[in-house]
Every structure is written in structure tokens, then in C-alpha cells.
Amino acid sequence: MPHEVRMPQLGMVQDSGVIVAWLKRNGDSVKAGDPIFEVETDKATMEVEAATDGYLSGVKAVEGDDVPVGGLIAMIVEAEGDVEEAGTGVPDAEPEDVAVVEAAQWSDPEPVKQPISAPVERATPKSVASGRVLASPKARRLASERGIDLHLLRAQGVSEPIHVADLDAAFAAGGKSLLSAVVESTSFDEILDCSRTADRTKLLALFAAGAWRATFDASSVSVAIKDLDGRIEIVANPDRGGAGVPEDPVLTLVDLCGTRINGYVPMGGGVTLCVTRSAAGYGLSLAFEESRLALSGAAALVEDIAARIENPLLQLL
Amino acid sequence: MPRDKSANSEAYLRMYRQMVRIRAFENNANQLYLNAKMPGLTHMYTGQEAVAVGICEALTDEDRITSTHRGHGHCLAKGAELRLMFCELLGKEEGYCRGKGGSMHIADQAHGNLGANAIVGGSAGIATGAALSAKRLGRNYVTVCFFGDGATAQGLWYEVMNMAALWKLPVIYACENNGYSEYTPTDEVVAGSLTARAEAFGIEAHQVDGQDVLAVNKCATELAERCRRGEGPFFIELETYRYHGHHVGDINRDYYRSKEEEARWKADRDPIDNFGKWLQSEGVAAKEELAMIDSEIGDEAAAAVKYALAAPYPDAVEVDMHVFKGVEHALPYMSGERQ
Amino acid sequence: MTRGITLSQAVNEAIAEEMRRDETVILIGEDVAEAGTPFKVLSGLVEEFGTDRVIDTPIAEPGFMGIAVGAAMTGLRPIVDLMFGDFLYLVMDQLCNQAAKTHYMSGGKLSVPLVLRTNLGATRRSAAQHSQSLHALVAHIPGLKVAMPSSAYEAKGLLKAAIRDDNPVVIFEDKLMYQDKAPVPEEEYLLPLGEAAILREGSEVTLIGTSSMRQVCERAAEILDGDGIGAEVIDPRTLVPLDEGTILGSVRKTSRAIVVDEGHQNFGITAEIAARISEKAFYHLDAPVIRMGAMDVPVPFSPALEDLTVPTPEGVAANARALVRGVPVHAP
């Protein structure tokens, strides 16, 4: 049986060896124990001995070749007649035979349990104004589930790190913010006077819906109209002739123009728009939770509604 | 031929076969390693065969041994099979330890082998404990603790020899003095005499030519019998020689021993050659018969290598098995999952 | 029926009961026979079981540890007595390289059913080499089980379970608790390894305390009651295996956890348990998990210094209060 001569594993940390000198030539007769070539590794130069008697055959490497451990270098054949000619080129290790190289060769690399997941690095763009809000993992999870923006909580003066208790406090009654505006114009009165059929409250709902749609780029906008008897009517897309099915209202409109009452902040959540009438014109007040509606958005909304009341024709035409 | 002579012949030939089997195993293991077909590292027993065979042929399957990092010879001499040994060396599922131990940890409980040990001198306590069990449980087995001259520098041995002597335990400490403690000549690391060290504990000590399988066997047989009669413990220093370096790949060893010295041991004191010649001179076997044994065992070893190379690796699911007895998978268990 | 017995008596009873039940159980160690150990835990056993089974050894920890490993591999079930936990360093090779790995390295063929009984705990004015709590060293090694009894009740139930276990189990008794009494059933019982105990329920913070730190946590919980803070106290009882389910379930409920242990804090048991909570209950945490281990200095001799190194009920309560009130323990 022909015997393979491979680059031996000589040290504990050796990947390859350089053939320094051949001590036997292709076709030479060798005896077990005869040095056949010299190898230089990271440590030293040493002789590699023939493992069996026979003839050196099919030598694949020349002096100076750096041969990977396990690489086939030559054969030792039993009969002189079997000797093959020397080849050329640096031989590669033959992976199907070599067990020392890759762990994957003898075990299925698929992790069975306790996989160590590599942390996924995400480039999180820093929020321009604010940076990261410090919050407990649970507070962060609950804020996300409840749709609370932790930046807004911080803006309201909640101190960091934010805990679950801070979220709960923000939900309690004291969490309302109020924005108010005055429209010193009577243009809206003229429209109402001109048309007998015009309903002030419905027109206000139309303005509010249009402003919401424009401010927040919303596709469907339902508005709840609440009176002082507590009755609530939900109108779908009042700025589009009431098309569509009423959904959860984005805001509640309370029209107080016919009364002397000049403000109303309801209990509970949600956005409430109150419209009042004074000698000078109209008063707007928007009650909202900054945890749900950012101050900037609320302000833009109030500005837009005010502009529509100031110049109603633009909206109606 | 008289009856006992025939019985002896059988025993002699068995010793010869066992030594040849170890030699063949090691030659194949060496080639597997050099050809990068074997993962890890291994230490060759070649040259020391008469020690393992001479002692283990004096023992029964009931008797225990503990072995060393240079342990293939002990394991085979105690009855292990070539195929399962090669499978273990190659990390295969069918190996003695399901591929979890490798060259330095082969254990074969069925034949009383409590395992090789990769800590030099690490098994001295285990062997002494096995002897304590024998005494405490009233079993009649003997334990042999194999270790090298290098291990005599470890403190553990002295602690357990002290207790073995105090408690008269049936244990034989068998020191294979192969002349080299890893890459250092033994006389540079051993002060005084090894036998005197055992004698200091009141332990009877013997020195035997470890290249003479019959001398080793005779001594071991006598001491094992005396152990069974409660006369233990004993110490034997066996002078022997390792043909290879400390481990395969320790080829460039001129700095600690000469090629001439190696050649002299191989030419004059080879345990297999010399025993073969003796068998011929005594008329136990003809040269041809011995050659036939060599060739049969050579074929058996080659077939075992072929078998092991083709054998499957253990399934990945086994990686956390056998951590705890009685626990299927250790990882969920350690997190509190009820089994 | 229960009666109050000391931890020392509980250990003695556990060993005696198991030695009566199983002939293969032996005791081995320094001065375990007539002396009954310096803590007198084993007094009386040699009279009942004789010197064949209660074996005094020379002062040679690696030697008798190694002998116990070999005896365990061949049919005996040794209980090894290591006089002080600090001597673990002496037996590390036999315990960690031999006992812990034998079953695995042999592919499940050999096993090492032994118990290593030793102790932990500072404030006995014994200085740095007789006061350490080194359970983290062995809990780190796969193949070893580790039990940490926190009273006489646990000491008996866990030790009996450990003796019957087919694997090496290291059990750490707090040497300051040997004379502490607790109610222990007269009937036989075992405490399975890997089951934690919830000793007190509470909804605002979970205090996890091992060994005598369980008592520290219980006293902290009483202090917190006065502040109107409900603390839940958990004793893991064993570190390997660790009953994660009970710990994580509690932390998911309370959102806050403090882990208290007498081993050094750095790279220790508190770190390990805190890490598992952080990994597996992260989204339920409303505060960082706080580790409270022994101070990372060698244990000093002077009482004035030694007392500073071990967690106290007041310290645990202060940290718990801070967590519940949302005051960061460490600056964010």
C-alpha cells in the first residue's frame, strides 16, 4: 500500500512548514527512519523521517516551498516500478482528510442552546434638541406601549432617570397643558350672517379638521362635537363633507360662543378645543397632554385654526 | 509439552501480542498525528510496552489502574480495543469517552481502567481512593497507580503514600522512570533516590528492569498477591525508555538527549525484540509465528484506523450531555429547569 | 412536628441519618472523628459509625480530597470535611480538574458521587486566611453543584440531598450560624437542589440573599416595612443549579432587585445573578440591579475594619429605599 508523506504537525502552534532541503530524491529507495527532508517551522529546523520502507514517489514540493500542515508532499511506494514523476507547485492541505484545521469539520456549527447573539449596532441619530432620555428599561418599554414620548416628559420637568412612577404621574390629572389664542377679527361673523343655513359649530369643526389634517398630514380626521349637556356627536372628515365612517376623534370641539363661559378643561385624556366669543373676536383654547401631543404640534394646530377663523373664505372656497 | 508449560506459553504469547498491539497502535497514532488527521496532541508510549503489559497481565478485570498522559499502553494492556481507542483519539462518537476525552483521558471502566490523567501526578489520589474503597467495601481487588518519574516531584503523591501506608491500602505505585521529565533529564529533577522516598513512609520498594516483560510481570504478580493479603501498599520503580519525544512533534530533542543514546536503547533493549528472541530460544514460538503475529496485529490496527477515520463525530446535541450524572442537558439544568 | 435545633445539630443529624441509610457513605477529613471538627459539628458520629467510616486524615487537603475522588469513583460516597473554606485553594486540582470533569471526560462512564462540606463567612475575627467565602470559585466550574444553606432547616435538607446526588456537590455552611437555631421537622425530608425559596412576599423590591445574607435581607425587609416599602426575600439555596424561574418571576413583579452575598463582589455570585436578571428580565426592570457582596479587600483582622466589609441590613435597606424612590444608587 503506498504511504503518504505529509507536512507533519511539529509544534503545538504550527500552521505550515518550509521545506529547507530534500535529503532524498524522487525515486530514491528509503528505509523507515531515514530522514527524507528538512523542515523549518517557527521554532527550528528538523528532519522528517520516512515512516515506512519503499521508494520516494511523486514529490510535489521543492525546497523553499511553505507547505500547510497535512499537505501531501510525496508518496512512498512499495515497488520501484510504481514510482511516479515529481510534480510541481505548492501542495495544499487536503481538507477532506485533515482534522486539525477547522472545528466546523467535526461539529455542526449550529448553536444548539444559549446562542450568544452578537449585539446589533444601530446608528441612532441623536435627537437634535434633546439627546437620549435616561429612563429605566421598564419605563422605556411602558412608554413605548402607551405612546408616550419620554422627551416630552422631560420637557415637562420630570427628572431623569425616568421611572415607571413618573409615567404614572404624568397620566394623572395634572398632566394637561393648555394653549390659548385670540382672533381679533369679525370675518367669521360675516360669513355666518350671510348664510342662514350656516351652522357655526359645524363650520368650526370643519376648520379644526382641516387644520389637523394640514398640521399632522392625517388622512382621516374625525371630530367629536360636545355640548354643555354632555352630548357628543362624532363627525367623520367634516372638512370633506362628512365623507367616510366616524372613527376615534382626534379632538373634541366644545363651542362656547353662545355663552359667557370662557374656558373648559375636561377630565381625562384627549385633545379638547374650546371656542369662545368676546367683544374683540374669538378665543381658542386647546387642552392636551404633552405626553401624547407635542407642544410644537399643538401650537401649530392652534395657529392654523386661528388663521382659518380669521380668514374663513380661504378655507371655504 | 507439560501442561503448565503450555499454559505459560499461552501467557507468554499473550504478553508478546499485547506489546506488539501497543507498538502498532502508537505507530499508527503517530502517523495520524503527523499527517494532521488527528486533532490535538498525543504522547507516545513506544519503548515502554513491557511495563504496562508486564503489570496488567498480573491483574484481572476487577483490578483497577489509573493512567497518565502517556496512557495508551496502559489502556490497551488492561484490555481496551483498538477500534474504540482510535475512535476516541479522533474525537469520534464511538470512542471510549464518546470523543469527550481524547488521547489523554481514555477511561475503560469495563476493564478497570479509571482513566488517563492529563495532570502529571494527578491520579495518585484517585488510585489510593480506589484502594480505600476496596478495603472499606471488602473487595479483593488491587489498584495500580501508573505515573512517571516526573510525577515524583508532585506533593500529592507523598500525601497519599503517607495515608496508604497508615491505612495499609492495597495499592501499588508503579513509577515508570523513562529518564526524562518532559524535556529534562530526570537526574536534573530528582534528588536522592526514588525508592528511598517510598521507603521513608515504610513502604516496601522494588526496582525492576522495565524493558524485561517477564521480570516486570513476576514482580507485579507477587506484589498484587501480597496486596490482596493485606500487605500493601508497594512501590516499584521501573527503568524504561521512551522512544519518542515528550509528545509527537517533539522531534528536535538533541538539546536534552542524543540520537546515539536513543539508537542504543532501540538496538539493545527493545522490549519486544528481546522478548521475541527469548520466545524463540525457549522454543515457545518460531520466528515465522512471531512474524505472523506482527503482521496480523498490523492489519488489525490498520483496519481499526480506517474504521475510526470513517466513523461519525458526535452530534452537536451531545456537547452539554454528561456534565452531571442523571442530567440529560446541563445548560438548561443549571438555569433551574426541572429535569 | 418541628423542634428548634442548631445548624450544627442539623448537619450532624443529616450525616448520621444518611450513614445509617447507606453503608457506602463515609466521612473523611482532618479531625472528623474523636475531635468532631473544631466546630464540634460531627461530635458523636465516630462513636456510632466507627473509625472505618469516620476517617481522620493527616493535614493533607489535596491528598484526602484526591483519595475521596478515587473512592467515589469506585463505590463509596465520601463526605469530605474541609475545615475552612479558605483551604479550597489547596484542593482545587483534585476538585476542579478531577472530580468535576471525570463524568464528562469519560463520556458518562465514570461518576464521582461525593460531597465536599466546608464553610464561609467573616466577622469571626479570624483574619484573611480563615474568613473567606469562596463559593464563586467552585460555582464557576462546570460539573460541580453548589449549595448554600441559610439555616438549620436548609442545612439538613440540602446536605441529605447532596449526599444522595451522584455528582460532586460542594456545600458551604456559614460558620457563624452553627449555633443558630431554626425549626426543623422531626420527620425525614430532603430539599431538592435547584429550588429557591420565597421567604417573604413583597411587591416593590426583590432581595436575593445567599447563606447568612438571607437573614440580612430578612432584617432589611423588616426595616423597609417601617418605610412602607414591601420587600420580597428570596433564598436561592443552591447556586448550581440556580432556580432562575423563581428569581426572575419575582423581579418581573417588583421591577427592582438587590443581590446580597458574602463572597467578594467583583466577578462574584452577585454579579452572576444580577447579570442573569439583567439579561432575562431587562424590560421589567425599573432600576439597575444592585450587587452587594463582601468588600473587595482581603478580610481584615481588626473588628473595626472587618465589620465594614460585610453587607448589613441597614445597607441593604438603604439601597432598597433609594431604588424604590427612584434615587439612583450610582450616578447616571
In a mutational test of the C interface, the residue from B334, B337, B338, B339 whose CB has the highest number of chain C CBs within 10 Å is B334
Model pLDDT, residue B192: 94
Is residue A130's pLDDT more than 60?
no
pLDDT of B295-322, one tens digit each? Answer: 999 999 999 999 999 999 999 999 999 9
- What ipTM did this prediction achieve? 0.93
Band (A94; pLDDT cuts 50, 70, 90):
low
For residue A295, give its domain range.
Answer: 175-316
A34 lies in some domain:
yes
A98 pLDDT higher than 70: no
Q: What is the pLDDT of residue C73?
A: 98
Residue A173 has pLDDT above 60, yes or no: no
At residue A129 the predicted structure's pLDDT band, cuts being 50, 70 and 90, is very low
CA gap A1, B8 in Å, rounded: 37
Residue B210 has which C-alpha cell? Answer: 522495565
Q: Hey, is the C-beta of B310 within 8 angstroms of any chain A C-beta?
A: no
**Which residues 128-167 on chain C approach chain A with CB closer than 8 angstroms?**
none
Pairwise pLDDT comparison (B157 vs A189), residue with the higher score: B157
Q: Which of residues 166-185 of B touch A (CB under 8 A)?
A: none
CA distances from A271 to A176, A181, A266, A295 (A): 9, 16, 9, 12
Give the number of other Cβ atoms within 10 Å of residue C126's Cβ: 17
Tell me the chain C residues in contact with residue A150 when contact means C-beta distances shorter than 8 Å: none
- Does A83 lie in the same domain as A58? yes
Catalytic residue among C17, C130, C195, C284: C130
230-259 in B: which are within 8 Å (CB) of C?
Answer: none
Q: State phi, psi for B291 to the nearest 5 degrees.
A: -60, -35
Q: Which residue of chain C comes nearest to B339, CA vs CA?
A: C194
Q: Nearest Cα to C28, choosing from C74, C73, C83?
A: C83
Residue with grid cell 480505600, as numbered in its chain = B132
Give yes or no: residues A163 and A94 share one domain.
no
pLDDT over 70 for what percent of chain A?
Answer: 80
Report the residue of chain A nearest B90, measured CA to CA. Answer: A99
pLDDT band for A92, please (50, 70, 90 cuts).
low
**pLDDT score for B4:** 58
Report the C-alpha gap between A175 and A153 in whole angstroms: 10
Q: Is C103 a catalytic residue?
A: no
**In this structure, are A180 and A312 located in the same domain?**
yes
Structure confidence at residue A88 as a pLDDT band (50, 70, 90): low
Tell me if residue C61 is catalytic: yes
Neighbors of chain C with 3 or more C-beta pairs under 8 Å: A, B
Q: Which of residues 240-269 of B touch A (CB under 8 A)?
A: 248-249, 251-252
The answer to whether A160 contacts chain C (CB < 8 Å) is yes
Number of CB atoms found within 10 A of residue A34's CB? 15
Digit-coded pLDDT (tens) for A250-302: 899 999 988 888 777 776 667 889 998 887 788 898 988 877 788 888 999 99
How close is the nearest chain B Cα to the Cα of C188, in Å?
Answer: 23
Phi, psi of A39 (to 5 degrees): -120, 140
Phi-psi region of B64 (alpha: psi -120 to 50; beta: other; left: phi over 0): beta
Does C246 or A311 have the greater pLDDT score? C246
Measured CA to CA, the distance from residue B146 to residue B110 in angstroms comes to 18
Average pLDDT over all residues of chain B? 95
Number of domains in chain A: 3
The stretch B150-165 carries a mean pLDDT of: 97
Nearest C-alpha neighbor of C167 from the set B105, B107, B326: B326
Cβ neighbours of B30 in A, within 8 Å: 51
Interface contact flag, C74 B133, Cβ < 8 Å: yes
pLDDT band at A187 (very low <50, low <70, confident <90, very high): confident
Q: Reply yes or no on whether the pLDDT at B280 is more than 60.
A: yes
Same domain, A198 and A295: yes
Cβ contact C74–B66 (<8 Å): no
By CA distance, what is B101's nearest residue in C?
A: C105
From B24's Cα to the closest Cα of chain C, the distance in A is 24
- Kindly identify which residue of chain C lies nearest to residue A134, measuring between CA atoms: C332
Task: Mark which residues 111-140 of B lie under 8 Å from C by CB.
Answer: 114-115, 117, 119, 122-134, 136-137, 139
Residues of chain B with Cβ-Cβ distance to C276 below 8 Å are 335
What does each of the 332 residues of chain C score in pLDDT, given as a tens digit?
899 999 999 999 999 999 999 999 999 999 999 998 888 999 999 999 999 999 999 999 999 999 999 999 999 999 999 999 999 999 999 999 999 999 999 999 999 999 999 999 998 899 999 999 999 999 999 999 999 999 999 999 999 999 999 999 999 999 999 999 999 999 999 999 999 999 999 999 999 999 999 999 999 999 999 999 999 999 999 999 999 999 999 999 999 999 999 999 999 999 999 999 999 999 999 999 999 999 999 999 999 999 999 999 999 999 999 999 988 888 87
Q: Do A10 and B249 lie within an 8 Å CB cutoff?
A: yes
User: Is residue B19 within 8 angstroms of chain A, CB to CB?
Assistant: no
CA-nearest of B165, B175, B166 to B233 is B165
pLDDT band at B1 (very low <50, low <70, confident <90, very high): very low
The alpha carbon of residue C146 and the mean position of all alpha carbons in its chain are separated, in whole angstroms, by 7
Contact of B234 with B203, CB cutoff 8 Å: yes
- Residues B322, C104: C-beta atoms closer than 8 Å: yes
Among B64, B117, B119, the residue with its CB nearest the CB of C74 is: B64
Task: Pick the range with the lowest mean pLDDT from A161-175, B76-90, B253-267.
Answer: A161-175
- Please give the average per-residue pLDDT across B74-79, as a whole number: 97
- CB-CB: which of B27, B36, B317 is closest to A9? B36
CB pairs under 8 A between A and C: 30
Residues of chain C with CATH 3.40.50.970: 2-185
Highest mean pLDDT among A17-21, A163-167, C71-75: C71-75
Q: Band of the pLDDT at A311, cuts 50, 70, 90?
A: confident
Of C283, C326, C328, the CB nearest to A165: C326
Query: Nearest to residue A14, comparing CAs of A40, A32, A51?
Result: A40
Whether residue C51 lies within 8 A of chain B, CB to CB, comes out as no
A40 to chain B: which residues are within 8 Å by CB? none
Paired strand residues for A71: A93
CB contact under 8 A, B37 and A70: yes
Q: Which chain C residue has its CA at the smallest distance from B64's CA?
A: C74
Per-residue pLDDT reduced to its tens digit, A30-45: 998 888 998 887 667 8
CATH number of C2-185: 3.40.50.970
Q: Residue A86's pLDDT is what?
A: 85
- Interchain pair A163, C287: CB under 8 A: yes
* A181 and A301 within one domain: yes
What's the pTM value of the predicted model, to 2 decimals?
Answer: 0.78
Residue A127 lies in a domain: no
Q: Indicate the burial class of A5 (C-beta count within 10 angstroms; 0-12, 13-18, 19 or more).
A: buried
Is C284's CB within 8 Å of A134's CB?
A: no
In terms of Cα–Cα distance, which of C73, C81, C32 is closest to B133? C73
The domain locations on chain B are: 3-311
Structural contact between residues C7 and C177, judged by C-beta atoms closer than 8 angstroms: yes
Task: Point out the least confidently predicted range of A127-131, A191-195, B96-100.
Answer: A127-131
Q: Whole-angstrom Cα distance, residue C76 to residue C189?
A: 23
DSSP, collapsed to helix, strand or coil, labels residue B213 as helix
Assess if CATH 3.40.50.970 describes domain B3-311: yes
pLDDT of residue A102: 39
pLDDT-based confidence at A123, cuts 50/70/90? very low
Q: In chain A, which residues have their Cβ closer than 8 Å to the Cβ of B37?
A: 70, 97-100
The pLDDT score that the predictor gives to residue C4 is 96
Residue of chain C with shortest Cα separation from A160: C332
Going from the C-alpha of A153 to that of each of A165, A199, C162, C285, the distances in angstroms are 12, 39, 54, 19
CB of A151 less than 8 A from some CB of C: no
Q: Are strands A45-49 and C115-120 parallel, antiparallel or unpaired?
A: unpaired
Is residue C19 within 8 A of residue C45, CB to CB? The reply is yes
**For residue B41, which residues of chain A lie inside 8 Å, CB to CB?**
12
Which residues of chain A have a Cβ shorter than 8 Å from any chain B Cβ? 4, 6-12, 43-48, 51, 69-70, 93, 97-101, 106-110, 112-114
Provide the CATH number for the domain around residue A86: 2.40.50.100
Tens digit of each residue's pLDDT (9 = 90 or more) over A201-250? 999 999 999 999 999 888 889 999 988 888 888 899 998 888 888 888 88
> Closest by alpha carbon to C115, among C195, C191, C35, C172?
C172
| B330 has a pLDDT exceeding 80 | yes
Instruction: Write the DSSP assignment of B254-313 as a string of letters.
Output: TTTS-HHHHHHHHHH--HHHHHHHHHHHTTSS-HHHHHHHHHHHHHHHHHHHHHHHHSPP
CATH number of the domain at C197-324, please? 3.40.50.920
Contact at CB, C71 and B136, closer than 8 angstroms: yes
Q: Exposed/middle/buried for B143, CB within 10 Å: 0-12, 13-18, 19+?
A: buried
What chain A residue is nearest to B245 in terms of C-alpha separation? Answer: A10
Residue A89 lies in a domain: yes
Are C48 and C191 a contacting pair, CB within 8 Å?
Answer: no
The pLDDT tens digits for B181-240 are: 999 999 999 999 999 999 999 999 999 999 999 999 999 999 999 999 999 999 999 999
pLDDT at residue B335 tops 90: yes
Would you say residue A97 lies in a domain?
Answer: yes
Counting as contact any 3 or more CB pairs under 8 A, the partners of B are: A, C
Q: How many angstroms away from the CA of C66 is the closest CA of chain B? A: 4
Q: Examine the pLDDT at A175 and tell me if it is beyond 80.
A: no
In chain B, residues 148-167 whose CB comes closer than 8 Å to chain C: 155-156, 159-160, 162-163, 166
Query: Which residues of chain C from 272 to 291 reach within 8 Å of chain A, CB to CB?
Result: 282-287
Position A123 in a domain:
no
Interface membership of A163 toward C (CB under 8 Å):
yes
| Selected catalytic residue, list C18, C30, C61, C218 | C61
